[in-house]
Amino acid sequence: MSTRERLIESTRTLLWERGYVGTSPKNIQELAAAGQGSMYHHFSGKEELARTAIDRTAEGMRAGADALLSGPGSPLERVAAYLRNERDVMKGCPIGRLTQDPDVMAAPVLREPVEEMFGWIRGRLAEVLAEGVEAGELSPAVDPRTTASAVIATLQGGYVLARAADSTQPFEQAIEGLLALLGAPGVR
């Protein structure tokens, strides 16, 4: 892995674990086994490196979510596959956690990919839920956009509940409760 890639991957790891405020250039350099000169050769500073890392994280999340939401099965089966996908629940969402970082939210260049990711996933879920309405799997009264927002809110809230309880159980209950409300097949 090149020095540039090690810097990006180290920043991704540290942003997820510590947030932007808790991630110093020195921490990044140490984890990447790269010197200060290498970091500033590839990036103008911490903000540019963080933006690159956030973009990379969002790209990976989009690809993974799209694979599940475009995969086999009915619309509700695909939503269930997305929600039940294996995650590091106790660490929380790598993008969602950034919304709690005041420096990320105050910097448009860092906030932008976070907003874009949530906008994209809301839109993609709304498309799949609209398919469910069209197929008769969901009631015609279900609004795909607002329901997509509820799905994301449940997922993000599930992370918070799990971390507060130091257990994945509240996350799993939130997901299964939402799927039961949607009438998804295979609800445990």
Which helix H or strand E contains 42, and what residues bound it?
A: helix 36-42
pLDDT values of the chain reduced to their tens digit, one per residue, 188 residues: 899 999 999 999 999 999 999 999 999 999 999 988 888 899 999 999 999 999 999 999 999 999 999 999 999 999 999 999 999 999 999 999 999 999 999 999 999 999 999 999 999 999 999 999 999 999 999 999 999 999 999 999 999 999 999 999 999 999 999 999 999 866 55
Residue 96 lies in a domain: yes
Whose CA is closest to 155, among 136, 177, 133, 134? Answer: 177
Q: Are 125 and 151 in contact (CB under 8 A)?
A: yes
Residue 116 lies in a domain: yes
Boundaries of domain holding 149: 54-182
Residue 44 lies in a domain: no
Domains in the chain, number: 1
> Strands, DSSP E only, in 60-185?
none
CA 22 – CA 15 distance, rounded (Å): 8
Side chain identity at residue 169, one-letter code: Q
Residue 117 lies in a domain: yes
Which CATH number do you get for residue 120?
1.10.357.10
